Amino acid sequence: MEDHLYEELLEVKDFAHVKNILPSPEGFDDVIVEYKKIHRLTNSHRSFADTNFYNPKKKHNESARYLKTQLVLNGQPYEILIISSKFERQEQIKSIILVILLPVIALLLILWLVNKILIRRMWSPFRQLLTNIKAFNINQEKVFEPIQTNIEEFKELNKAVLEVSLKVKSDYKEIKLFTENASHEMMTPLAVINSKLDTLLQSNSLGKEESEILSDLYKATSKLTKLNQSLLLLVKIDNNQLQAREEINLKTLIEEKLGYFQELIQKRNLNIQSELAEFIIYANRSLVEILVNNLFSNAIRHNYDGGSIRITLTEDNLEFSNTSTQMGLDPLKIFERFYKDNASDGTGLGLAILKQVCIRKNYQLSYCYQREQHHFKIVFKHSENKN
């Protein structure tokens, strides 16, 4: 715009030089020229600036750029003001921006969409493979599902994952079969050992020292038998072999177990407090009995003589609280297999079995230590309740 204003100024000078008169202000199409006589030249420098002016042709105010300078025209000093509207230039700039920017934006948008579609198609086999890996369950007979793809890298990955899954499944079956067979085979010799030891302990010909040794052996083999039975039970739970479901009144079951453990409770002089609501669930009776038995056994075994046990059964949860000589345990490790305190003479599998049962039935099992009591809480799944 400044170059254009300067060109207009040169035209004024040339017109005045050739015609010896000043050009008419109305003779310019896109600029407004104003002349003002002055006594003498005070500043011959050109100055440019922005302004607002009233455009008589368009009859409204516009923003503009002007050139102001002082010249001698036809022997007279004049102050010349040349004003050029910005409106046309701004419209030109907008048009240029639109012409350039819109195709660029459209091109970028098209590229982004094409890129997104191509990436989605390209990574679709990988996502499907990832979904199949997450869905793979080593306990199920269903093998890993391979994917169909034309991408060589994903073909190799698919092949490698398929081979690994088959090997893992095969190894798992062998280990599971070995564990089951070993546990079953151990039951017979353990039963024979217990029987022989029981016979020897009843003999009158043994001395005191021999009786103590045999008693220790009897306790060790009894513990080994319990450990073997617990491992067999864990294998059955892991293999989901206890699937039969029936209607179980949990309040009635707990009351039956209270009678079952009554002798141990009286022997240790334990104070039992129970608050049982009517509650019916659909589950495997063996699993629920294992769950309740382990809660009772844990609360009695780890209590002290004269301690207390509180049992609370509501519409959706069961809680056992008991006193103990032990302080709070690590809630992250307490349900691990073979985790137990040094004073315990158990197998360390009771709470692990409890946790496994809850996992199989989708129950929420939690532990906390508050007010010098251990709290074990089971929240039942609503879809299996009959309330």
**Domain residue ranges of the chain, discontinuous segments joined by +:** 2-85, 162-238, 246-384
CB 77 within 8 A of CB 41: yes
Element (H, E) at 315: none
Question: What pLDDT does 383 receive?
Answer: 44
Please, is 280 exposed, middle or buried when counting C-beta atoms within 10 Å of its C-beta (0-12, 13-18, 19+)?
A: middle
The model's pTM is: 0.47
Question: What pLDDT does 386 receive?
Answer: 46
The residue behind tokens 């509207």 is 85
Question: What pLDDT does 343 receive?
Answer: 53
- pLDDT below 50 — which residues of the chain? 383, 386-387
Instruction: Note the helical H segments in 136-245.
Output: 152-201, 208-238
Question: What pLDDT does 141 receive?
Answer: 67
Indicate the length of the chain as a whole number. Answer: 387
The Cα–Cα gap between 338 and 359 comes to: 18
Q: Which two tokens stand for residue 39?
A: 């006594």
Please, is 374 exposed, middle or buried when counting C-beta atoms within 10 Å of its C-beta (0-12, 13-18, 19+)?
A: buried
Per CATH, the homologous superfamily of domain 246-384 is: Histidine kinase-like ATPase, C-terminal domain (3.30.565.10)
* 195-225 core/surface letters (b: 16 or more CB in 10 A; e: else): eebeeeeeeeeeeeeeeeebeebbeebeeeb
* Half-sphere exposure (Cβ direction) of 311: Cα atoms closer than 13 Å: 20
Number of Cβ within a 10 Å radius of residue 303: 21
Contacts 24+ apart (CB under 8 A), 205-214: none
Question: What pLDDT does 387 receive?
Answer: 42
Question: What pLDDT does 233 receive?
Answer: 63
